[in-house]
Amino acid sequence: MSPNQTPVLADPVIDSRVPFPHTTLPLPCRTTPDLYRIEHLATRPELKRAMAKITLSCAGCPIVRDCLKFALANPELSSEGIWAATTPRQRKALRDRLVRRLGPDWVGVVAEREETARRRRQTARSAPAPRRDTAMAHLELESIPVRPAPYEPWREPLTDARRAQNRRLLEAALTHKAAKAA
Ligand code: SF4
């Protein structure tokens, strides 16, 4: 999202099925707005360099996926500027692809899928997993090799457990020697 493009939620053109996420986290396009001003760039290499920086910046944004979805679902609102490291042309291509894959009401399809996933997550949090699922989870865990890698004393930091074990071995050795010497 380019600077000064913060969506006004009361605006009737906004598709409420895919809302822009509310966040108090610092968004790169707001903290470094100059980076996102590319309108004055005249040459292709300049634009390319700027887009590389923007892509890196958006990649670190906590809401990048939702920002892109919002921009794609609201073509009028996002007809200009950079949103989630995409140019208007790239967004158009992405929209066309979504229409081909999910149909003309792709926004509805995406919103429905997200709602289903949200409900599933909610149910999983509030209801205990069925016994069969728990058994499957155990089986899956059992199939993962859990044996720790061999301890390499010269490479690994000394852990508390290893320190305690070393002390026990030392004490045992000393006691043994002392018993022999007596
Ligand atoms: S993804 Fe990029 S454009 Fe979108 S909110 Fe984050 S920083 Fe801004």
Query: Where do the DSSP E strands lie in the chain?
Result: none
The residue contributing the CA closest to ligand 1 atom 3 is 1
**pLDDT attached to residue 90:** 92
Instruction: Kindly give the distance from the C-alpha atom of residue 12 to the centroid of ligand 1, in angstroms, as a whole number.
Output: 22
The domain ranges of the chain are 28-119
pLDDT in tens, 10-60: 555 688 898 898 889 999 999 999 999 888 888 999 999 999 999 989 988
Ligand 1, pocket residues at CB < 6 Å: 1, 27-29, 58, 61, 63-64, 67, 83-84
Show the 3-state SS of 54-93.
Answer: HHHHHHCCCCHHHHHHHHHHCCCCCCCCCECCECHHHHHH
**Tokens for 38?**
């590319």
> Which atom belonging to ligand 1 lies closest to the Cα atom of 2?
3
Task: Tell me what the mean pLDDT of segment 154-169 comes to.
Answer: 70
Say what the pTM is: 0.63
**pLDDT attached to residue 39:** 85
